[in-house]
């Protein structure tokens, strides 16, 4: 396993790199049979240190955790604690996600463009009715998975939402974090099917 340690606008020294690598390795080794590669990024913002961990599991799931602290070491301790909580919660299900059926579905995953658009007051009138001003562009994976797998993936990550293709019918679904701490699920395909069934019943009655 290789843990890449980088600093954003600061130098992540050798001592911190060793500490962070050992910390993350210890957490993952405790719960996973094979420890995957990962990335740890350290940054400082408004006097606080922030550590972000990202690990791509062999199953394809993305495991993420974020921690903050008054110094670099306490921030990585916080991130490692959250990482361990997430891995422990889903340990048995992570192994199940590595099944042949899940692997077969991942072959049908697609990549979509991911844009960040500007919403400044000065730009609103200029771009109303036209394409918005794009300030960043990336890639987002849209995977084939069950709803429970999508909920698990979202809970393993730091993302606010996730788009996926429902393994039951292939339609686009969304899971997202609610303000009350629960996870919401949007299935437009299900609504379409219900309307179609309702129309069929209505025509049959007529």
CATH number 3.30.505.50 given to 100-205:
yes
Question: Average of pLDDT values for 102-124?
Answer: 65
Q: How confident is the model at residue 200 (pLDDT cuts 50, 70, 90)?
A: very low
With 0.85 as the threshold, say if the pTM is over it. no
Of the two residues 146 and 124, the one the predictor is more confident about is 146
Of the two residues 177 and 201, the one the predictor is more confident about is 177
Of the two residues 191 and 27, the one the predictor is more confident about is 27
Question: Average of pLDDT values for 117-142?
Answer: 67
Indicate the Cα dihedral angle 36, 49, 71, 4, nearest 10°: 20
Q: Does residue 152 contact residue 164 with C-beta atoms inside 8 Å? A: no
Q: For position 199, what pLDDT does the model report?
A: 43
* H or E element at residue 33: none
Please choose, from the candidates 156, 143, 151, the residue with its C-alpha nearest in 3D space to the C-alpha of residue 178.
151
Q: For position 64, what pLDDT does the model report?
A: 92
Place of tokens 């730009």: 123
Q: For position 107, what pLDDT does the model report?
A: 59
Q: Mind spelling out the 3-state secondary structure of 124-188?
A: HHHHCCCCCCEEEEEEEEEEEECHHHHHHHHHHCCCCEEEEEECCCCCEEEEEECCCCCEEEEEH
Question: Average of pLDDT values for 105-121?
Answer: 68
Please choose, from the candidates 59, 82, 58, 57, the residue with its C-alpha nearest in 3D space to the C-alpha of residue 69.
82
Question: Average of pLDDT values for 85-111?
Answer: 68
* pLDDT tens digits along 186-195: 998 765 555 5
Residue 119 has pLDDT above 90, yes or no: no
Q: For position 98, what pLDDT does the model report?
A: 55
Q: Which residues contact 105 (CB under 8 A, 6 or more apart)?
A: 143, 144, 145, 167
Q: For position 100, what pLDDT does the model report?
A: 56
Residue 205 has pLDDT above 70, yes or no: no
**What does the domain layout of the chain look like in residue ranges?**
3-96, 100-205
**Within 13 Å of residue 60, how many CA atoms lie on the same side as its CB?**
21
Q: Does residue 130 contact residue 104 with C-beta atoms inside 8 Å? A: no
- Three-point CA angle 41, 45, 48, nearest 5°: 90
Instruction: Look up the CATH architecture of domain 3-96.
Output: 2-Layer Sandwich (3.30)
Return the top range by mean pLDDT from 53-57, 70-74, 106-110.
70-74
Q: For position 95, what pLDDT does the model report?
A: 59
Range of weakest confidence among 10-19, 48-57, 84-93, 117-126? 117-126
Whole-Å CA distances, 158 to 65, 67, 129, 196, 197: 6, 11, 33, 36, 38
Question: Average of pLDDT values for 143-152?
Answer: 88
């Amino acid at each position: 396993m290789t843990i890449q340690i980088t600093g954003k606008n600061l130098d992540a020294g050798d001592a911190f790199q060793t500490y962070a690598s050992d910390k993350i390795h210890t957490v993952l080794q405790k719960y996973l049979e094979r420890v995957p590669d990962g990335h740890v990024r350290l940054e400082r913002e408004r006097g606080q240190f922030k550590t972000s961990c990202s690990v791509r599991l062999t199953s394809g799931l993305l495991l993420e955790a974020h921690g903050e602290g008054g110094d670099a070491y306490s921030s990585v301790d916080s991130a490692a604690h959250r990482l361990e909580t997430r891995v422990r919660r889903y340990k048995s299900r992570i192994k199940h996600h590595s099944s042949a059926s899940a692997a077969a579905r991942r072959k049908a995953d697609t990549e979509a463009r991911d844009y960040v658009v500007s919403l400044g007051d000065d730009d609103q009138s200029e771009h109303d009715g036209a394409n918005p001003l794009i300030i960043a562009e990336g890639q987002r994976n849209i995977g084939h998975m069950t709803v429970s797998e999508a909920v698990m993936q979202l809970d393993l990550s730091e993302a606010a939402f996730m788009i996926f293709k429902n393994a039951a019918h292939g339609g686009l679904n969304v899971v997202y974090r609610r303000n009350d701490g629960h996870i919401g699920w949007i299935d437009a395909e299900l609504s379409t099917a219900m309307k179609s069934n309702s129309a069929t019943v209505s025509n049959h009655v007529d």
